[in-house]
Amino acid sequence: MKDMDTSHEKAQNRPKAHIGIVGAGLSGLRCADILLQNGFNVTILEGRDRVGGRVHQHRLPNGKLVDEGPNWIHGTNDNPILDIAKKTNTAVGSWDTRSFVFNESGELFSSADGEHYSTIMWDIVKDAFEYSGEHSASIDPQESLLDFFKRRIVERIPESIENWKRQREIVMQMADLWGAFVGSPIERQSLKFFWLEECIEGENLFCAGTYEKILDDIAKPAIDGASIEFEKTVAFINTKGTADEKIAVITATGEHFTFDEVVVTVPLGWLQQNLRAFEPPLPTRLVRAIGSIGYGCLEKVYISFPKAFWLDSDENGRIIQGFCQWLSPNYDLESNPKRWTHEVVELGSLAPSAAHPTLLFYIYGEESQVLTDTVSKLPNKEAKDKYLYDFFRPYYSLMPHFEKDSADCQPSACFATDWLHDDLAGNGSYGNFQVGLQEGDKDIEAMREGVPERGLWLAGEHTAPFVALGTATGAYWSGESVGRRIADAYGLKHGEAAVTDRLITFWLLKRRQIAGSEQCAVATAHILLQVVAKGKWADVDQLIERVQRVGRKLVEARPQELVIGNIVRRVLGLIRDEAEEDRNGEGNEFGSESVSDLSALPPSDQNVPTPPRLIRQPTLSTSNSFIVPQSMFNLLSADPLADSSATGSPFGRGSGASTPLNTAQATSVHALRSEVIDGIEEIKDEISQVDDQIAQFAEIQIHPSDYVLVHQPSPTVERFLIRAASKRQFTVLIASGVVSKAEAPHAALRKKLAAAGVKTINIMSSGIMAYMPKVNKVILGARAIVANGGVVGEGGAALIARAAQELGKSVVVLGGVYKVCPEEPFDLDGLVELGDPSAFVSFADGAMVNGVEVESAISEFVPPELVDVYITNLLV
């Protein structure tokens, strides 16, 4: 990163560098906290007369506080906002998933029907997340989430179902509810970058006690240690050209400030409207990124009543609790001619300390623009309240036990947000991803990078890790990240790092943005390295428990990638071996052969009672000597002489890791951390060397004039062929799947082979048998090799291997040792990863889709009897 390129220069200016932060929202406050911890002078310029930015509360006449900004804590796994909520005793909660849905005529669906339609709608949303994550690169930027709904609903509700047209219509009406999540209509939601909208793992919790105490906790370090200049709206930022120059910041009233670095934490909408505030102009790529990301217009309307009348049960025993929706209403066309769908969260059933008889309506898109424009023009509070009561009465009056003459059913107060008319908020709510977006992920990364060589850094929910974009957690993390990056640039050691790096990698892994066995293995090693290096643990047992817990999550995230479990086992074995050597004061030159079983870690998604144990191999490098196993069996079985005296230990036999560290041993935790970190780095180095080591066998396997058939060649296979091409003249037949692009598949490989004089022929899978008689051998890349010798390969590999066996052709499988798994394939279906079948059968082909279940295998299992030769980086 560029900020690290100038770290030496900045280190020279270490004494009390002065950092300016524009904006006192969550990101600015958290950034200030980190900078203050590292000894910087910090000044915050805030345009409002308070801290918090879009995090702010309003007190209703009933005395209850409500949030004008975020109401929710998105995700419960490793979420610092949730941790702060617990610390400050802020009430949070959630409701069950029961659906209360009114149809377009104002009739309440039965519980069963409401659940039915809601389930279909959210299942399609889930499908869209998966589809976007797996196929983002090939999705048309103009394709919307609505387009996906129109295609997928044909599959979810086929014409063979009774009343299918009406059911589809209802689900499509429910799809409009997505707009309340992002602040823009579903037809504007980008499908290509829909995966960026998915949040942290775990529940979405409603912040019943509001963000007030959370904000106070985050703001305290800045209030105590920084200089905060309120009502200072920034108008001009002149960034520096050299390391010795200061950055000049000028406010709208003409006040001048100078800083060594400036962190701009203003909302994305403000940046989009004020690009001219920067001099010199921002880099072209950054300007394009700022302009490309969408900015929503979510607004809220709170309406309070003397009593939560909707909580009384109706004649069917139903009460409205949590969410309630009114779909495309046709009964209020005078005030709602566009038939905007409405959703409410009722606050009467919250925790007793936070509950109050209030309905919270979420509005967005054109409706929020019309409503805020109208309310802003009304002369006084009474007129504004009356307009809002009248506008929403057609909806809340349909709730159970509403009686128009009852005092309990007459609104007593209301409050509506107006972010659209708030210039400091950028005239909107938060970032989102709209149709037409070409490089959404790269745009976020460009904003996250900022311009550190000019002393300019950006933070805010729009620069957050992908897992937390558009959330309060994301804003907090972004400020933390920039604070640490500045400290790093000045050569300061800032203590325990944040979890953001680990979360980003985990999220990319889960969303299949990290693809391929090698990349998944490297990502797993990287995440576990962060656990070891940056986690707080006092002894080896705590470290093992943490690695097991994270490893379990990684395996569950990508169950078909068996290499993930392998790397977790390797790391656990490494930890135990290093701990054993520390205890004994000596160790075997090649490390212990005790196995790192993963008793708490499910082996992919298969039910394997007692998997064979994988021997930890010594790390591979050109300077290391190592014992080469004599057979594949050696890689997949335990040493029969291994100590079995500790079979009851949950940490594996003979490891000794379950023995608590004494005081003297505890002093070696730092040394153990360093040794394990070095070991994991060596594992990563080994993975990076695998392809070159396997390629050394290419000249032995491929002979002059051979016809070699490869199937969707992996990087390992490509390296193998290129190495052989440097010494041999042969012909390569490349079997491809469905070709959806105009250019020839595997064009880069074909070009490299052609440069070496090797002829290549592309063939479709349907033509394999016609070419097989000429083939001398088939070379397949392995995603994984399981304990019985079976291979998990690309979809179609089993068919090719079967065809080769029928005609007596040898099948050679290439795969590094890190792909050799101690798992028996008891559940073959669990090894098969299914992808999008639309390349074969279009969802528009209703008759076909309704009558046939189409599955497209991305990976599949090749039985061991179809494989003749295995080549790893250790053996043939």
Cα–Cα distance between 428 and 364 in angstroms, integer?
10
Residue 446: pLDDT band with limits 50, 70, 90: very high
Angle at 653 between CA 651 and CA 654, to 5 degrees: 105
In this structure, are 388 and 406 located in the same domain?
A: yes
For 292, the token pair is 């490309």
Q: Pick from 492, 488, 515, 516: which is nearest to 501 by CA?
A: 488
The per-residue pLDDT for 69 is 97
Q: How many CB atoms lie within 10 A of CB 585?
A: 6
For 440, the token pair is 């959404």
pLDDT in tens, 13-59: 445 799 999 999 999 999 999 999 999 999 999 999 999 999 999 99
210: Cα separation from own chain's centroid: 26
Structural domain includes residue 6:
yes
- Looking at residue 109, what DSSP letter applies? P
Cα–Cα distance between 263 and 280 in angstroms, integer?
16
Range with the poorest average pLDDT among 36-45, 416-425, 601-610: 601-610
Please report, for the domain that includes residue 379, its CATH number: 3.90.660.10
pLDDT > 90? residue 581: no
pLDDT > 70? residue 495: no
In this structure, are 330 and 195 located in the same domain?
A: yes
pLDDT in tens, 774-789: 899 999 988 888 888 8
Higher pLDDT, 340 or 94: 340
In this structure, are 157 and 304 located in the same domain?
A: yes
The domain boundary residue, chosen from 396, 424, 452: 424
In this structure, are 669 and 701 located in the same domain?
A: no
Structural domain includes residue 303:
yes
Range with the poorest average pLDDT among 148-157, 535-544, 585-594, 643-652: 643-652
Stretch 287-312: mean pLDDT, rounded?
96
Instruction: Name 174's Cβ contacts closer than 8 Å, sequence gap at least 6.
Output: 101, 117, 118, 121, 325, 327, 341
Using CA atoms of 790, 791, 797, 800 in order, give the dihedral in degrees to the nearest 10: -40
Question: Which segments of 104-209 are extended strands (E)?
Answer: 204-206
Stretch 552-571: mean pLDDT, rounded?
84
Which of 75-79, 279-283, 350-354, 803-807 is most confident? 279-283
The per-residue pLDDT for 876 is 59
Backbone angles phi, psi at 413, to 5 degrees: -170, 160
Residue 479: pLDDT band with limits 50, 70, 90: very high
Q: How many CB atoms lie within 10 A of CB 334?
A: 6
Cα–Cα distance between 240 and 242 in angstroms, integer?
6
Helix/strand/coil (H/E/C) assignment for every residue in 844-871: CCHHHHHHCCCCEECEEEECHHHCCEEE
Q: Pick from 148, 152, 120: which is nearest to 132 by CA?
A: 148
Stretch 115-134: mean pLDDT, rounded?
93
Cα–Cα distance between 111 and 280 in angstroms, integer?
60
In this structure, are 363 and 391 located in the same domain?
A: yes
The domain boundary residue, chosen from 646, 668, 690: 690
The per-residue pLDDT for 499 is 52
In this structure, are 31 and 104 located in the same domain?
A: no
Residue 727: pLDDT band with limits 50, 70, 90: confident
pLDDT in tens, 57-98: 999 988 899 999 999 999 888 899 999 999 999 999 887 667
In this structure, are 321 and 274 located in the same domain?
A: no
The per-residue pLDDT for 463 is 97
699: Cα separation from own chain's centroid: 42
First-residue to last-residue Cα distance in the chain? 41
Question: Which segments of 269-424 are extended strands (E)?
Answer: 278-279, 294-295, 299-304, 323-326, 342-346, 358-363, 413-416
Cα–Cα distance between 263 and 485 in angstroms, integer?
11
| Mean pLDDT score of the chain | 83
CA distances to 449, 479, 495, 532 from 464, rounded to whole Å, are 11, 9, 21, 24
Strands 358-363 and 299-304: antiparallel
Burial profile 7-34: b = 16 or more Cβ within 10 angstroms, e = fewer? beebeeeeeebbbbbbbbbbbbbbbbbb
Stretch 229-247: mean pLDDT, rounded?
89
Higher pLDDT, 313 or 745: 313
Range with the poorest average pLDDT among 336-340, 531-535, 862-866: 531-535
pLDDT > 80? residue 391: yes
Stretch 324-349: mean pLDDT, rounded?
95
Q: Pick from 391, 396, 410, 387: which is nearest to 334 by CA?
A: 391
In this structure, are 173 and 163 located in the same domain?
A: yes
SS3 of 457, please?
Answer: strand
Cα–Cα distance between 855 and 566 in angstroms, integer?
28
Structural domain includes residue 82:
no
Domain that holds residue 640: 514-690
Structural domain includes residue 759:
yes
Residue with tokens 């392998």: 566
Question: Please, are residues 437 and 190 in contact by the beta-carbon 8 Å criterion?
Answer: yes
In this structure, are 836 and 795 located in the same domain?
A: yes
pLDDT > 50? residue 589: no
Strands 413-416 and 299-304: antiparallel
The domain boundary residue, chosen from 630, 663, 690: 690
Q: Pick from 852, 850, 847, 853: which is nearest to 161 by CA?
A: 850
- Looking at residue 272, what DSSP letter applies? H
Per-residue DSSP letters for 604-669? Answer: TTS--SSPPPPPPPPP--TT---PPPSSHHHHHS--TTS--TTTT-TT-TT--TTSPP-HHHHTTH
The per-residue pLDDT for 640 is 34
For 842, the token pair is 């279009």
The per-residue pLDDT for 317 is 67
Please report, for the domain that includes residue 230, its CATH number: 3.50.50.60
pLDDT > 60? residue 767: yes
CA distances to 451, 619, 621, 764 from 625, rounded to whole Å, are 46, 9, 8, 44
The per-residue pLDDT for 771 is 81
Stretch 839-864: mean pLDDT, rounded?
66
In this structure, are 545 and 570 located in the same domain?
A: yes
pLDDT > 90? residue 616: no
Question: Please, are residues 314 and 437 in contact by the beta-carbon 8 Å criterion?
Answer: no
Structural domain includes residue 381:
yes
Instruction: Provide, rounded to the nearest whole percent, the portion of the chain with pLDDT above 70.
Output: 79
Q: How many domains does the chain have?
A: 4
Which of 271-275, 728-732, 735-739 is most confident? 271-275
Instruction: Provide, rounded to the nearest whole percent, the portion of the chain with pLDDT above 90.
Output: 50
The per-residue pLDDT for 517 is 80
For 69, the token pair is 């900004």
For 396, the token pair is 């809340």
Structural domain includes residue 740:
yes
pLDDT > 80? residue 720: yes
Cα–Cα distance between 816 and 697 in angstroms, integer?
13
Cα–Cα distance between 165 and 479 in angstroms, integer?
49
Residues forming beta bridges with residue 185, ordered by sequence position? none
Stretch 688-694: mean pLDDT, rounded?
89
Structural domain includes residue 145:
yes
Residue 621: pLDDT band with limits 50, 70, 90: very low
The per-residue pLDDT for 504 is 58
Range with the poorest average pLDDT among 217-226, 351-360, 583-592: 583-592
Cα–Cα distance between 689 and 682 in angstroms, integer?
10
The per-residue pLDDT for 662 is 43
Using CA atoms of 856, 858, 859, 865 in order, give the dihedral in degrees to the nearest 10: 50
pLDDT in tens, 695-717: 889 888 999 989 999 988 888 88
In this structure, are 621 and 520 located in the same domain?
A: yes
Cα–Cα distance between 694 and 723 in angstroms, integer?
10
Cα–Cα distance between 280 and 198 in angstroms, integer?
36
pLDDT > 90? residue 770: no
What is the CB-side half-sphere exposure of residue 68 using CA atoms within 13 A? 18
Category of 210 on φ-ψ map: left (φ > 0), alpha (ψ -120 to 50) or beta: left
Structural domain includes residue 162:
yes
CA distances to 125, 712, 741, 748 from 744, rounded to whole Å, are 34, 13, 8, 9
Burial profile 369-380: b = 16 or more Cβ within 10 angstroms, e = fewer? ebbbeebeeeee
pLDDT > 60? residue 652: no
Query: How many residues are listed for the chain in this entry?
Result: 876
Peptide bond into 280 cis (omega under 30): yes
pLDDT > 90? residue 827: no
In this structure, are 839 and 864 located in the same domain?
A: yes
The per-residue pLDDT for 664 is 43
The per-residue pLDDT for 513 is 62
